[in-house]
Structure 1
Amino acid sequence: MSAESTPESGIPGESGTAGPRHRAKGRRRKPRGRRKGLLIMAWTAAGIVVLGGTGAGYVYFKLNGNIKSVDIDSALGTDRPTKVDNGSENILVLGSDTRSGGSNEKLGGGIDDGSARSDTAMVVHVYEGHKKASVVSIPRDTIVDRPECTDTKGDTHDAADGVMFNSAYSTGGAACAVKTVESLSGIRMDHYLEVDFSGFQKLIDELGGVTVTTTKDIDDPDSHLDLKAGTHDLDGEQALGLVRTRHGVGDGSDLGRIQLQQAFIKALINQVKHVDLFGNPTKLYDLANTATKAVTTDSDLGSVNKLMAFANGLKGISSSRMHMVTMPVEYDPADANRVIVEEAKAKQVWTALKNDKAIPKSATKGTATGEAGGVVSDS
């Protein structure tokens, strides 16, 4: 059962297993290897900024100073897909692993090489009226032809054929990631949101954890996570372990991890709706402070006021009105650890979004899924 065929998967439920609810006891082993971020958390963080924006004076300037932004439009110039004036918006949401010291260095496996990597990418398409959305996950292991691009420092990076998708970010940062996604999809990205590992973990802790139900045991020493089938209240470290695990469930692929991420996102969105932030001003500020520190945006969203206005336009979208799919891919015949774009089916996805239409079921039917669907579920 795939995430595409079960759009409600990942919403926390009160049943689904006979086991008792318990605080998960994740293995506290030293993390190693690459750590996987959850990109859509940038969107959730934007929603929290809406709440944090109720303050004034010092609070406003403090939060405003937290936000990092990049001028992607200036870097990429005019050689881009045309903006579509149909009331919809497309947002590229990335999760990054910046290894230049601090907590991200620890989460990235203790390697302080000054580099940055994107390990999850999602195109969020908000339909006209802003009452529903489609989310298309792009596997980091997808082999693509990366276009020439100019980064926000003005440096130009040569095109490269047959490279992994996530090399775009590590080569030229946000601007080159956007350029590559636009090349793949033929769709203009209206906005860019990025969240890092440490920000994700801290935000989950500030929220008091997230409740999920696992239908199967998950045991992955690499992500220091050991969960029995049942309902768990995950703290930030455990939540990060869940969304980054590859070898604990399914076939150990990046595709399987994407299904876990999509299910977790729906659980998170549903839980956030029930948090009484206005009844606790201290918690409200702490969440807003953490969220604004965690995100990097495009320059059009680079202030509290702009981010608030943007997030206000999204807050009516519930998890039940989010259709989540993975970009249609197939396993690379030359390397079973990589995938390649299923061109005809992927075109159906991008054409639907460009025309502000629903993604047809035929676009994802029969594509590679990673065999991890239904591991996190509400039933």
Structure 2
Amino acid sequence: MTEDTKGRGRGATGRRRKPAARRRAVATAAWTAAAVVFLGGAGLGWFYFELNGNLKTVDIDQALGTDRPANVDNGSMDILVLGSDSRGGANSEYGADDGGSARSDTAMIVHLYEGHQKASVVSIPRDTMTARPECPAGKGKTDPGGKRRQFNEAYTVGGAACAVKTVEKMSGIRMDHYIEVDFTGFKKIIDTLGGVEVTTTKPIKDGSSHLDLAAGPNKLNGEQALGLVRTRKSVGDGSDLGRIQLQQAFMKALIKQVKGVGLFDNPKKLLDLADTGTKALTTDKGLGDVKSLAGFAQGLQGIDAQDLQMITLPVAADPLDANRVAPLQKESAMVWQALLADAPIPAEATADSAGDKGTAGSIVQ
């Protein structure tokens, strides 16, 4: 196993621990990467020669150099998972974005604990106002960043490298890997799976995301699943925080369903899922070939939904803009310190946060 694919964590002392004898990769806790790595990853070892050309990669290490948090190995791992809202190509049916540039519509930090049998997932609201560091902006240019910038603009400014650098500056945690999926890829994965079953406790009707679901059991195709995870104004308080709760609820429903699907009983379906998943992915160089991705993904089915601690970064309304949110400094520090120590996130970190309040997450089961 290469250094890039080892589990890494951040102990304050830098002390190395002996990796667990039986590591099981956890279910990646973002709705985008879950579908790709759970489903496509399951069969990558069989077909990697055919599938290797599907993957797109970014060299995060080369782009960021040494201006990164310390990389200490204690058996844990941190992954930044982004869902891209690029409106280019097949994604153009969802409307135009500013200047045709992509933004990170969904951002989650997935922390796999030592032994890789449990995980914590921290969703970062796209409208979070935070400091953005200086970032490479392509074509030899540099964006100076600033003390007050909207989080999801980091991806627009400098792509994956700037998104990773911004998260690392926010958290003090080095990201071991990066995984990105776009709208179209997500839809195709769900359709190839055959849909995802969810139960809605209330009707959901959202003209912006073209979603119209009755209360009760619903089997969502790719278009409907994408609509659900993008729905905002028709659920909860209509904010991005409510949408994050829906995404997390959908993620758990997806994990439960994948557990019950006999993918290995249907080799053709397995190959179709692997082909669809790898075409949808952009990863860091460490996962940039199918053999490496297969090694990373092999044991994903070892973790159930109940083994995931899913929270939203502790935030409150931004005092300078009611349409934005700002991190609660003390509570956010508690989150990052827990992950650095490879410890569970304490309940008090989210007790006063707007991110985990509301009812949007209870609408989907």
Per the alignment, residue 92 of structure 2 pairs with 105
Task: Report matched runs for 1:1-379 at 5 Å.
Answer: 39-55=30-46, 59-101=47-89, 103-107=90-94, 109=95, 113-150=99-136, 155-369=141-355, 371-378=358-365
Q: CA RMSD in A?
A: 1.8
| d(CA) in 1 for partners of 2:131, 2:75 | 30
- Residue type of the alignment partner of 1:130: H
RCO (CA 8 Å, sep 6+): is it higher in 1 or 2? 1
Identical columns (%): 61
- Residue type of the alignment partner of 1:87: G
1:131–1:316 Cα contact (<8 Å) kept: yes
1:70–1:152 Cα contact (<8 Å) kept: no
| d(CA) in 1 for partners of 2:330, 2:227 | 34
Q: Per the alignment, in what secondary structure is the counterpart of residue 90 of structure 1? A: strand
- Larger mean CA deviation between 148-157 and 120-129 belongs to 148-157
1:132–1:321 Cα contact (<8 Å) kept: yes
- Residue type of the alignment partner of 1:171: V
Once the 2 structures are TM-superposed, how far is the Cα of residue 282 of structure 1 from its aligned partner?
1.6
- Residue type of the alignment partner of 1:183: K
Q: Per the alignment, in what secondary structure is the counterpart of residue 302 of structure 2? A: coil
Once the 2 structures are TM-superposed, how far is the Cα of residue 148 of structure 1 from its aligned partner?
0.3
- Residue type of the alignment partner of 2:362: V
| d(CA) in 2 for partners of 1:219, 1:354 | 41
Q: Cα–Cα, structure 1 residues 154 and 88, in superposed 2: closer, same or farther, change >3 Å?
A: farther
1:100–1:112 Cα contact (<8 Å) kept: no
Q: Per the alignment, in what secondary structure is the counterpart of residue 263 of structure 2? A: coil
Once the 2 structures are TM-superposed, how far is the Cα of residue 172 of structure 1 from its aligned partner?
0.2
| d(CA) in 2 for partners of 1:215, 1:201 | 23
| d(CA) in 1 for partners of 2:345, 2:302 | 20
| d(CA) in 1 for partners of 2:245, 2:189 | 21
| d(CA) in 2 for partners of 1:153, 1:267 | 42
2:243–2:360 Cα contact (<8 Å) kept: no
- Residue type of the alignment partner of 1:331: A
| d(CA) in 2 for partners of 1:377, 1:226 | 14
- Larger mean CA deviation between 279-288 and 118-127 belongs to 279-288
Per the alignment, residue 10 of structure 1 pairs with none
Once the 2 structures are TM-superposed, how far is the Cα of residue 373 of structure 1 from its aligned partner?
3.6
1:121–1:139 Cα contact (<8 Å) kept: yes
Q: Cα–Cα, structure 1 residues 154 and 71, in superposed 2: closer, same or farther, change >3 Å?
A: farther
- Residue type of the alignment partner of 1:46: V
Q: Cα–Cα, structure 1 residues 111 and 159, in superposed 2: closer, same or farther, change >3 Å?
A: closer
Q: Per the alignment, in what secondary structure is the counterpart of residue 98 of structure 1? A: coil
Cα deviation digits, residues 233-268 of structure 1 (max 9, x gap): 111111111100111111100001000000000000
Q: Cα–Cα, structure 1 residues 106 and 112, in superposed 2: closer, same or farther, change >3 Å?
A: farther
Q: Per the alignment, in what secondary structure is the counterpart of residue 330 of structure 2? A: helix
1:216–1:375 Cα contact (<8 Å) kept: no
| d(CA) in 2 for partners of 1:324, 1:355 | 17
Q: Per the alignment, in what secondary structure is the counterpart of residue 103 of structure 2? A: strand
1:329–1:368 Cα contact (<8 Å) kept: yes
**How many residue pairs align between the two structures?**
336
Q: TM (normalized to structure 1)?
A: 0.85
Q: Cα–Cα, structure 1 residues 225 and 130, in superposed 2: closer, same or farther, change >3 Å?
A: same
| d(CA) in 2 for partners of 1:153, 1:84 | 32
Q: Cα–Cα, structure 1 residues 253 and 318, in superposed 2: closer, same or farther, change >3 Å?
A: same
Q: Cα–Cα, structure 1 residues 377 and 238, in superposed 2: closer, same or farther, change >3 Å?
A: closer
| d(CA) in 2 for partners of 1:317, 1:239 | 22
1:40–1:94 Cα contact (<8 Å) kept: no
Q: Cα–Cα, structure 1 residues 200 and 231, in superposed 2: closer, same or farther, change >3 Å?
A: same
| d(CA) in 2 for partners of 1:306, 1:54 | 9
1:142–1:340 Cα contact (<8 Å) kept: yes
- Residue type of the alignment partner of 1:242: L
Q: TM (normalized to structure 2)?
A: 0.88
Once the 2 structures are TM-superposed, how far is the Cα of residue 112 of structure 1 from its aligned partner?
9.7
Q: Cα–Cα, structure 1 residues 110 and 143, in superposed 2: closer, same or farther, change >3 Å?
A: closer
1:257–1:372 Cα contact (<8 Å) kept: no
Once the 2 structures are TM-superposed, how far is the Cα of residue 151 of structure 1 from its aligned partner?
5.0
- Larger mean CA deviation between 125-134 and 60-69 belongs to 60-69
Q: Which runs of 5+ in 2 are unaligned?
A: 1-28
- Residue type of the alignment partner of 1:53: L
1:84–1:354 Cα contact (<8 Å) kept: no
> Structure 1 runs of 4+ off > 6 angstroms?
none
Per the alignment, residue 8 of structure 2 pairs with none
Say which structure is richer in helix: 2
